[in-house]
Structure 1
Amino acid sequence: MKKFIYYIPLFLFISCIEDDSVPLVNDNETILSKFLEDKTFLNNQVIACAASDSGTMDINNIYFYPEAGASDFRLYQSWADDEKDFSSYQFVPLNSEPVFQGALRVFKLRSDCKWTVVIYEKEDKTEISTPIRMKLSFQPTIWSTDLTVDQSSPLMPHFSWFTLSEENNAIFFQVLSTEDLALLSGTYTEDNHFQYYKLNNVVLNVTPGEPPGLISGETYIFTVMDVSIDNWVNHVIMSPFTAE
Structure 2
Amino acid sequence: MSKLKYIAICLLVLVSCARDNDEDIQSLTTYIQGRTVEQGAVIACAASDEVNGDILTFYYAESGASNGRFYETLDVDVDSNDFKNYTLNNVESDPIFNGHLRRFTQSSATEKWIIITFELADEIKISNPIRTKQLSKPTVWNDKVNINQSSSGMPNFSWNDNAEGDNAIYFQVVSAANGDLLSGTYTYENQFQYYNTSNVVLNVTTQTPPNLIFNENYNFTLMDVSLDNWVNWVIQKSFVAE
TM range (shorter): 0.7 to 0.9
Normalized against structure 1, the TM-score is what? 0.87
Which residue number corresponds to residue 12 of structure 1? none
Shift of 1:38: 2.1
Instruction: Indicate the structure with greater helix content.
Output: 2
Match of 1:179 among 170, 177, 180: 177
Identity of aligned residues (%): 45
Unpaired runs of 5+ residues, structure 2, are: 1-20
Per-residue CA deviations over 1:158-199 (Å, capped at 9, x if unaligned) read 000112447400000000001121100000000000001101
CA 1:166 to 1:135, structure 2 compared with 1: closer, same or farther past 3 Å?
Answer: closer
Normalized against structure 2, the TM-score is what? 0.88
Shift of 1:109: 1.6
What code does the residue aligned with 1:181 have?
Answer: G
Per-residue CA deviations over 1:87-143 (Å, capped at 9, x if unaligned) read 110100111100100000000022224200000000000000000001111000000
Secondary structure, aligned partner of 1:238: strand
Match of 1:47 among 36, 43, 53: 43
Per-residue CA deviations over 1:135-158 (Å, capped at 9, x if unaligned) read 111000000011100011111100
Which residue number corresponds to residue 18 of structure 2? none
2:52 and 2:218 map into 1 onto residues whose CA distance is 25
Shift of 1:34: 1.2
Unpaired runs of 5+ residues, structure 1, are: 1-24
1:143 and 1:181 map into 2 onto residues whose CA distance is 19
Matched, 1:94 2:96: no
Match of 1:66 among 58, 61, 64: 61
Q: CA RMSD in A?
A: 1.2
Which residue number corresponds to residue 140 of structure 2? 142
Contact 2:154 2:193 in 1 (8 A): yes
Secondary structure, aligned partner of 1:216: coil
Shift of 1:200: 0.4
Shift of 1:35: 1.1
